[in-house]
Structure 1
Amino acid sequence: MSARFEELDWSETPMGEISLRRRREPTVGIDVFEVKLGDEFLMSSLFTVAETALAHLGLAELSGDELDVVVGGLGLGYTAQAVLEDPAVRSLVVVEALDAVIEWHRRDLIPDTVGLASDPRTSLHSGDFFAMCETGAGFVPTSPGRLFDAVLLDVDHTPRHVLHPSHARFYTPDGLRGLVRHLRPGGVFAMWSDGPPDAGFSEVLAQVFARSTAHTVSFANPLTGGSSASTVYVAS
């Protein structure tokens, strides 16, 4: 049996203290990996259904092979790992604001996503996803203007509950138009959000994209004995 609690890594960042922790969860008898930023819990390996659904729902809108994909926000890596499991994916660019998170994956600290960083299709970039959307250079500094088939985003809690005030502009029509310039014709934008669909944000998506859907993704919650739900927005 493993120790009940271990802090695997801790760093001071411009957004606050971030830590990766492993603890034994007695309700299910497994080790759980959690990320905490300041006083907020950002993510847990106990709840990954919506993160993988983000990849599955976004990529399901695309046809053909040799797809080039961007994931904004690395976290525990479940969305990126689900992207790599799709045989149609040719390349994956992950943009992560916090260097410490990238190092967790280079050191393979999260058992479920071991090998993510070393996959030859993957490139991990340290940077501000939202700032990159605003520039013509895009998401790969060495390949300015490169276009992608899909951009999948999992950073903020919701469009209204953001981790940093500078992110708020992205969730406006002008902010999303900045993203569109980095998509190929027919490309897809998909985004995870905590809680139920936000009608206001769906209206914003409708102003920018030809079609969009808010998918409710439900999953079992062993901590409450019931279920929880997140939203995955998909627009094309």
Structure 2
Amino acid sequence: MGARFEELAWRETPIGAISLRRRRDPALDVEVYEVKLDDEFLMSSLFPVAEIELARLGLAPLPRRDLDVVVGGLGLGFTARTVLEDDRVASMLVVEAVEDVVDWHRRGLLPFAAGLAGDPRTRFVRADFFAAVAGGAGLDPDHPGRRFDAVLLDVDHSPRNVLHPSHAAFYTREGLRRLAACLRPDGVFALWSDDPPDVAFTEVLAQVFAAVEPHVVRFANPLTGGESANTVYVAHTAV
């Protein structure tokens, strides 16, 4: 394997083969880290803006300190790393279904996420986020029924484009009600989506949460020379 490309990790999982690879982009003169599921690209270190904004937008409305936060889906770690940069955060529970993804961080394979795994506020839980919510016991297996100030989710491409059919039920009114039960009063659920704001999904959120706002996050796309955009939904429980 040449120096311009290296597969750092690969593993077959119940939802497909997940891999982490590093390549040198000669046009941009940067190291690019990418995650693939089978032949589908999940994320790239070239486009971290919306993942970072998921944490910032999700935590910004909270008026208190000593925040307990859940990050659903670890990936390259941009969301989790940004959570830890907020000095109001007391604890961060990272719910990740694939143990290998956690191992990437523990082994230090992702230099831009350095310190995430070793931060004393970080705790990893190997679990299917969607199954944990549906099960009713909550997101912390050591403390059933525990509630959090914020839950930040970045797993599926969007509520309409899920990685596995079993995830679809989460994005219904009943699924979101179970998620809301994991939040404290005046808590926040924030969701990353690759699609533009979805009116129908926003209406479903509004049936469960006291306030909902979709944010369009725009960022420069170095591959096209133009601009791309993602959506971050921010939903609040009642006070």
> TM-score if structure 2 supplies the norm length?
0.97
- Aligned partners of 1:43 and 1:205: how far apart in 2? 25
Instruction: Name the counterpart of 2:33.
Output: 33
1:138-217 matches, cutoff 5 A: 138-217=138-217
> What is the CA distance between 1:93 and its match in structure 2?
0.2
% identical equivalent positions:
66
Secondary structure at the residue paired with 1:134? Answer: helix
> What is the CA distance between 1:135 and its match in structure 2?
2.8
Is the Cα contact below 8 Å between 1:23 and 1:31 reproduced in 2?
yes
- Aligned partners of 1:26 and 1:158: how far apart in 2? 31
| RMSD between superposed Cα atoms in Å | 0.9
> What is the CA distance between 1:46 and its match in structure 2?
0.4
- Aligned partners of 1:126 and 1:55: how far apart in 2? 21
- Aligned partners of 2:210 and 2:73: how far apart in 1? 25
> What is the CA distance between 1:140 and its match in structure 2?
1.4
Secondary structure at the residue paired with 1:12? Answer: strand
> What is the CA distance between 1:28 and its match in structure 2?
1.5
> What is the CA distance between 1:109 and its match in structure 2?
0.5
- Aligned partners of 1:129 and 1:70: how far apart in 2? 10
Instruction: Name the counterpart of 1:24.
Output: 24
Aligned residues: 235
- Aligned partners of 2:108 and 2:32: how far apart in 1? 15
Is the Cα contact below 8 Å between 1:205 and 1:212 reproduced in 2?
yes
Task: Give 5+ residue unaligned stretches, structure 1.
Answer: none
Q: Is 1:82 matched with 2:82?
A: yes
Is the Cα contact below 8 Å between 1:27 and 1:223 reproduced in 2?
no
Is the Cα contact below 8 Å between 1:216 and 1:230 reproduced in 2?
yes
Write out per-residue CA displacement over residues 162-208 of structure 1, whole angstroms, 9 at most, x where no aligned residue: 00000000001000000011100110000000021111111111111
- Aligned partners of 1:56 and 1:114: how far apart in 2? 19
Q: Is 1:119 matched with 2:119?
A: yes
Amino acid across the alignment from 2:189? F
- Aligned partners of 1:48 and 1:178: how far apart in 2? 29
> TM-score if structure 1 supplies the norm length?
0.98
- Aligned partners of 2:145 and 2:64: how far apart in 1? 22
- Aligned partners of 1:27 and 1:148: how far apart in 2? 43
Is the Cα contact below 8 Å between 1:27 and 1:222 reproduced in 2?
no
Secondary structure at the residue paired with 2:135? Answer: coil
- Aligned partners of 1:214 and 1:26: how far apart in 2? 36
Secondary structure at the residue paired with 1:218? Answer: strand
> What is the CA distance between 1:154 and its match in structure 2?
0.1
Q: Is 1:227 matched with 2:193?
A: no
- Aligned partners of 1:130 and 1:15: how far apart in 2? 14
Write out per-residue CA displacement over residues 78-111 of structure 1, whole angstroms, 9 at most, x where no aligned residue: 0000000000000000000111101101111101
Instruction: Name the counterpart of 2:110.
Output: 110
